[in-house]
């Protein structure tokens, strides 16, 4: 597996991320965020929910994100200088993409969302792991 900030990582049979030598379990904060938290070009916003990805109509390029502080008092927009990385899980990611105007036309029209890209595959065929035996 690739090196991430000088530390070698591996996946075990249960797909958990572990440090190879210490065999300690990892999670998003210590695997990614802590390594980059002191960078000047990174701002982490907590207690916020992404409403949608901001997309340029011409060329369909993601340019930023719109989010709401969880107490509902403030809606903010942030512009990206280089790229947008979206990870909100198997349910949240397609939902955010659809709220951004990318997805099944019938579903988007039903909720009054402007269609930027018609793609019948977004938000369809979810196959989550409903039952995972332990033991």
110-123 per-position pLDDT tens digit = 999 999 989 999 98
Summarised one tens digit per residue, pLDDT across range 75-105 is 899 998 888 888 787 788 899 999 999 999 9
Cβ atoms of 26 and 41 closer than 8 Å: no
**Does residue 41 fall inside a structural domain?**
no
Chain mean pLDDT for the chain: 77
Q: What proportion of the chain, given as a percentage, has pLDDT over 90?
A: 29
pLDDT (tens digit per residue) in 54-73: 988 665 789 999 999 888 77
pTM across the whole model: 0.68
What is the C-alpha separation between 38 and 36, in angstroms, rounded? 6
Residue 130 lies in a domain: no
Please state the domain count of the chain. Answer: 2
**Domain assignment present for 134:** no
**Do 26 and 54 fall into the same domain?**
no
Contact between 54 and 66 (Cβ < 8 Å): yes
Residue with tokens 């379990």, as numbered in its chain: 25
Cβ(69)–Cβ(50) below 8 Å:
no
Distance CA 81, CA 98 (A): 23
Domain match, 59 and 32 both: no
Compute the distance between CA of residue 121 and CA of residue 25 in angstroms, rounded to an integer. Answer: 34
Q: Where are the alpha helices (DSSP H) in the chain?
A: 28, 34-36, 89-99, 105-110
CA distances from 56 to 33, 53, 101 (A): 28, 10, 11
Domain with 31 in it: 3-36
Which residue has 């989550």 as its token pair? 128
């Amino acid at each position: 597996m690739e090196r991430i900030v000088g530390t070698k990582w591996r996946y075990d049979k249960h797909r958990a991320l572990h440090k190879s030598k210490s065999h300690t379990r990892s999670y998003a904060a210590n695997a990614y965020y802590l390594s980059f938290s002191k960078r000047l070009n990174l701002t982490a916003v907590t207690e916020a929910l992404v409403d949608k990805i901001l997309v340029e109509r011409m060329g369909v390029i993601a340019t930023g994100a719109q989010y709401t502080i969880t107490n509902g008092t403030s809606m903010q927009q942030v512009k990206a200088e280089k790229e947008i990385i979206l990870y909100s899980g198997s349910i949240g990611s397609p939902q955010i993409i659809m709220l951004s105007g990318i997805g099944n036309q019938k579903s988007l029209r039903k909720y009054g969302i402007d269609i930027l890209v018609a793609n019948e595959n977004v938000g369809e065929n979810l196959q989550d792991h409903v039952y995972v035996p332990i033991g």
